[in-house]
């Protein structure tokens, strides 16, 4: 049973509409909405739709969508503006509730409070691997709680076989190796051991892939490999790069959604291998996956209270997560699961993953709660204690004290905390807390437009500049066409990436969006067909972006968020708006690029270079011959880089002052910003 796609439809058949279904990941939201629309022969965005980030594919006709899939983050954003009105659905489905993100736990707490005020809605909690007793106990206050268990294995015609490192060694005939598998591939006695991935593990996965391919004649049966990080995906890609027998797909949040959805298509000519992080762990069934190779590792983000920054580390997964990964096969065919740990080692794994809210700073969530209009929702000391696994009171206190120090909230005379003007503004921006703080800081410096774009790029994936997966040299070559960090003194790679993408966006805005679209509108107004001025101003944006190694969806997504932020700032009218200058790309007078030359030869006769790869998402594509696309002096790059470097260095110094007891200063006119950027940039 594909519960995520079928349960909403079963409820719809009983006339229980409208229905909202939340999921942890964007990829799953889009894939499930498309699946339901296709199964019911509906147009996506009409009767069934989805809402992720700024992409709202719902209510595209006059009537309200009957089924809407959303991320938990979108639900929180809507509740920030509408309160409980954002939950006015006949049925609320919270899917994959075993995934304990901060957003999911907050939505769960809000929905519980909402259900205590209404008898008109039904709540459905779904997961294949939860501790149901805990949730029944949590919701007992709202009345009758029914637990429905749907058997799966007894009803399925397909079998799943789990094999551990002991069996894998036998299968691959590796007994002759001098070093034991435990120490080589699975160091330590239990899950307290470090979860790093050695080069030996990548080679083991490669051997296992080749063995599966040789022993399984049906090439339509695909293989799903779970790895913890983008770096691990690239390392495995490199190991497989010389192998032409596989069609390799990548599932990671930095990959465009449309490209990620290509994994849902069957491959008949070549065996499909999907390298994925935990975004493929639940919700979506990838057709044809018969084998799962599980590294049994994941990436955990946690709050470092000493350095006062978010840090990351590799950890061993829980048994619940392993079962979710196991469930990615055995859906459409028999399945085999290879876990790259010994069985005794696996038995030491925790039963369930730890709630993220217990390991992260909750400043952003505390501010959001303080800014809520409803009195029932605007006291973080009360509401955060109503979460399924509430954070310690000391963590809540620390978060609120930090917000007071940066002048985001103030102690109220009646008790509790009252947001300041700055706090309301921070909370109103459609960015993460870190990105919002940076954006407003850069606004104070007089670089509002550039600051908004940098703030957006801290939050979103993919970024504007094309990033060929698995080819770092090509990625750098492409980025250098927009910004070469070698031309600036002492600039870090993270900064260079952000500045390069900032300049790429400005280049697109200057060369295509403002110019080409204006010409199209003029021609439309004259009832004429659009004629591009110059042979390389191609007929559509995708061609133009492909010519310049850019991702059009990323550019347009950033543009939409930028407009939203500017509207918010003009509504709040912070003092720094009085001193902002026009965007730097509008102030250029000498900027020249080959695409603006009306006497260039036809494209087929121009000296272009191509980007080639063995996989479909890196098909050969022609590129613009003008290199670099932007010179080191265009768009005031030197001034922006120098000012950003100066500001960030000041922030790092102030962080050191804070750690030794420095006095906090107000946000506007003050400099209490450093702790939010220490892990973002690497200025030397």
pLDDT surpassing 70 at residue 591: no
Residue of 504 and 647 predicted with greater confidence: 504
Same topology between domain 3-150 and domain 158-354: yes
Q: In what order do the strands lie in the sheet with 48-52?
A: 55-57, 48-52, 67-71, 19-23, 91-95, 122-126
Q: Quick one: pLDDT at residue 492?
A: 76
Q: Both tokens of residue 447?
A: 């670089």
Would the pLDDT of 11 be above 50?
yes
Q: Which position has the token pair 């392993």? A: 322
pLDDT value, residue 649? 60
Give the pLDDT confidence score for residue 671 in this predicted structure: 34
What pLDDT score was predicted for residue 478? 87
Contact 487, 500 (CB under 8 A): no
Q: How confident is the model at residue 600 (pLDDT cuts 50, 70, 90)?
A: very low
**Alpha carbon 9 to chain centroid, angstroms:** 27
Tell me the domain boundaries of the chain: 3-150, 158-354, 361-419, 436-648
> Alpha-carbon distance 182 to 188, whole Å?
8
pLDDT band for position 654 (cuts 50, 70, 90): very low
> What span, in angstroms and rounded, lies between the C-alpha atoms of 99 and 39?
27
Q: Which architecture characterizes domain 3-150 according to CATH?
A: 3-Layer(aba) Sandwich (3.40)
The answer to which of 19-33, 180-194, 359-373, 605-619 has the lowest mean pLDDT is 605-619
Q: What is the DSSP string of 552-569?
A: HHHHHHHHHHHHHHHHHH
Distances (CA, A) of 288 to 89, 152, 233: 35, 19, 21
SS (H, E, C) 50-119: EEECCEEECCCCCCCCCEEEEEHHHHHHHHHHHHHHHHCCCEEEEECCCCCCHHHHHHHHHHHHHHCCCC
Is residue 62 very low, low, confident or very high in pLDDT (cuts 50, 70, 90)? low
Residue 184 reports pLDDT greater than 60: yes
Residue 178 dihedral angles phi and psi, to the nearest 5°: -70, -35
Name which of 6, 279, 251 is nearest 126 in CA terms.
6
Q: What is the rounded distance in angstroms from the CA atom of residue 366 to the CA atom of residue 363?
A: 5
- Segment 379-394 mean pLDDT: 92
Q: Is pLDDT at 611 greater than 80 in this prediction?
A: no
pLDDT tens column, 207-241: 999 999 999 989 889 999 999 999 999 999 989 88
In this predicted structure, the answer to whether residue 451 has a pLDDT above a threshold of 70 is yes
Which helix (H) or strand (E) covers residue 140, if one does? none
CA 68/CA 71 separation, integer angstroms: 10
| Contact assessment for residue 36 and residue 66, using Cβ atoms and an 8 Å cutoff | no
CA distance 400 to 404: 6
Q: How far apart, in Å, are the Cα atoms of 518 and each of 41, 230, 341, 509?
A: 38, 39, 59, 12
Give the best-scoring range by mean pLDDT among 51-55, 100-104, 172-176: 100-104
Among the residues of 243-309, which ranges form H helices? Answer: 257-260
Task: Spell out the residues 6+ positions from residue 187 whose beta carbon is closer than 8 angstroms to its own.
Answer: 193, 194
Q: pLDDT value at position 534?
A: 41
Contact 164, 322 (CB under 8 A): no
Is the pTM value of this prediction over 0.75? yes
d(CA 77, CA 343): 43
Tens-digit pLDDT profile for residues 260-312:
777 777 777 889 999 999 888 877 778 889 999 999 999 998 888 777 777 88
Cis bond leading into 642, ω under 30°?
no
Domain 158-354: give its CATH code.
3.40.50.300
Round the average pLDDT of the chain to a whole number and report it: 81
Q: Is the pLDDT of residue 550 over 70?
A: yes
The region of weakest confidence among 32-41, 107-116, 184-193, 516-525 is 516-525
pLDDT band at 518 (very low <50, low <70, confident <90, very high): low
Q: Is 485 helix (H, G, I), strand (E, B) or coil?
A: helix
Number of CB atoms found within 10 A of residue 94's CB: 22
Tell me the mean pLDDT in the region 589-598.
61
Give residue-wise pLDDT tens across range 65-91. Answer: 899 999 999 998 888 778 888 899 999
Range 659-681 average pLDDT: 38
**Lowest mean pLDDT across 61-70, 347-356, 628-637:** 628-637
The answer to whether the beta carbons of residues 310 and 360 sit under 8 Å apart is yes
Q: Is the pLDDT of residue 606 over 90?
A: no
pLDDT band at 594 (very low <50, low <70, confident <90, very high): low
- Which range of 174-188, 380-394, 404-418 scores highest in mean pLDDT? It is 380-394
Pairing between β-strand 48-52 and β-strand 67-71 as defined by DSSP bridges: parallel
Q: Are 71 and 24 in contact (CB under 8 A)?
A: yes
Q: What is the pLDDT of residue 42?
A: 92
Give the pLDDT confidence score for residue 391 in this predicted structure.
93
Q: What is the pLDDT of residue 670?
A: 38
pLDDT at 510 over 90: no
Cα 636 to chain centroid distance, Å, stands at 31
Percent helix, strand and coil across the chain, each to the nearest 5: 45, 15, 40
- Is 90 exceeded by the pLDDT of residue 7? yes
**How far does Cα 606 stand from its chain's mean position?**
38
- What sign does the CA torsion over 69, 75, 78, 82 have? positive
**Cis, bond preceding 479 (omega within 30 deg of 0):** no
Query: Predicted confidence band at 677 (pLDDT cuts at 50, 70, 90)?
Result: very low
- Helix 421-428 with 433-444: angle, nearest 10 deg: 120
- 219 Cβ contact partners less than 8 Å away, ≥ 6 residues apart: 267, 268, 269, 270, 271
**Residue for token digits 């962080």?**
655
Compare 624 and 478 and report the one with higher pLDDT.
478
Instruction: Tell me what percent of the residues of the chain surpass a pLDDT of 70.
Output: 80
* Sequence-ordered list of residues with C-beta below 8 angstroms from that of 457, at least 6 positions apart, any chain: 463, 464, 498, 501, 502, 558
């Amino acid at each position: 049973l594909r519960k995520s796609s079928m349960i909403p439809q079963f409820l719809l058949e009983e006339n229980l509409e409208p229905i909202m279904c939340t999921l942890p990941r964007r990829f799953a939201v889009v894939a499930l909405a498309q699946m339901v629309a296709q199964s019911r022969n509906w147009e996506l965005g009409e009767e069934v739709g989805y809402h992720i980030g700024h992409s709202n594919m719902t209510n595209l006709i006059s009537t309200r969508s009957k089924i809407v899939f959303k991320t938990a983050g979108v639900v929180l954003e809507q509740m920030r503006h509408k309160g409980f009105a954002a939950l006015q659905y006949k049925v609320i489905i919270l899917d994959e509730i075993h995934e304990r993100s901060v957003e999911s736990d907050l939505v769960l707490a809000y929905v519980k409070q909402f259900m205590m005020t209404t008898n008109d809605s039904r709540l459905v909690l779904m997961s294949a691997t939860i501790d149901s007793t805990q949730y029944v106990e949590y919701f007992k206050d709202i009345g009758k709680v029914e637990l429905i268990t749907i058997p799966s294995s007894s009803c399925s015609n397909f079998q799943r076989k789990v094999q551990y490192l002991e069996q894998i060694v036998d299968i691959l005939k590796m007994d002759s190796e001098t070093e034991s598998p435990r120490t080589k591939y699975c160091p330590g006695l239990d899950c307290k051991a470090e979860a790093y991935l050695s080069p030996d593990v990548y080679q083991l996965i490669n051997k296992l892939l080749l063995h599966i391919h040789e022993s399984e004649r049906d090439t339509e049966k695909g293989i799903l490999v779970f790895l913890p990080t983008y770096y691990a995906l690239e390392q495995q890609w490199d190991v497989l790069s010389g192998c032409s027998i596989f069609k390799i797909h990548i599932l990671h949040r930095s990959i465009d959604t449309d490209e990620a959805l290509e994994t849902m298509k069957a491959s008949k000519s070549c065996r499909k291998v999907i390298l994925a992080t935990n975004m493929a762990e639940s919700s979506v069934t990838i057709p044809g996956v018969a084998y799962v190779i599980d590294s049994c590792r994941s990436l955990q983000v946690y709050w470092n209270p000493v350095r006062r920054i978010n840090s990351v580390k590799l950890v061993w997964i829980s048994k619940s997560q392993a079962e979710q990964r196991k469930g990615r096969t055995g859906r459409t065919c028999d399945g085999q699961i290879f876990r790259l740990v010994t069985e005794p080692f696996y038995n030491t794994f925790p039963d369930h993953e730890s709630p993220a809210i217990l390991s992260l700073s909750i400043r952003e969530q505390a501010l959001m709660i303080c800014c809520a209009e409803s009195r029932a929702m605007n006291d973080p000391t009360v509401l955060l204690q109503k979460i399924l696994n509430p954070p310690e009171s000391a963590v809540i206190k620390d978060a609120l004290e930090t917000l007071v120090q940066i002048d985001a909230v103030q102690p109220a005379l009646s008790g509790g905390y009252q947001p300041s003007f700055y706090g309301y503004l921070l909370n109103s921006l459609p960015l993460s807390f870190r990105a919002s703080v940076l954006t407003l800081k850069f606004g104070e410096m007089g670089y509002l437009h550039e600051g908004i774009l940098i703030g957006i790029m801290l939050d979103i994936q993919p970024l504007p500049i094309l990033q060929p997966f698995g080819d770092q040299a090509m990625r750098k070559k492409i980025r250098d066409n927009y910004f070469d960090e070698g031309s600036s003194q002492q600039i870090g790679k993270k900064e260079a990436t952000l500045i390069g993408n900032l300049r790429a966006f400005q280049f697109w805005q200057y060369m295509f969006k403002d110019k080409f679209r204006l010409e199209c509108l003029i021609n439309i107004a004259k009832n004429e067909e659009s004629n591009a001025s110059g042979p390389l101003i191609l007929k559509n944006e995708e061609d133009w972006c492909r010519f310049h190694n850019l991702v059009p969806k990323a550019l347009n997504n950033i543009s939409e968020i930028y407009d939203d932020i500017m509207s918010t700032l003009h509504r709040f009218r912070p003092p720094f708006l009085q001193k902002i200058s026009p965007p730097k790309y509008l102030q250029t007078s000498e900027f020249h690029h080959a695409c603006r030359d009306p006497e260039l030869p036809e494209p087929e006769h121009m000296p272009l270079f191509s980007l080639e790869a063995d996989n479909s998402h890196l098909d050969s594509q022609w590129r613009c011959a003008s290199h670099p696309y932007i010179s080191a002096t265009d768009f005031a790059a030197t001034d922006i880089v120098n000012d950003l470097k100066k500001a960030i260095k000041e922030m790092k110094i102030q962080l050191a002052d804070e750690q030794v007891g420095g006095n906090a200063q107000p946000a506007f006119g003050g400099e209490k910003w450093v702790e939010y950027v220490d892990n973002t940039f690497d200025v030397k």
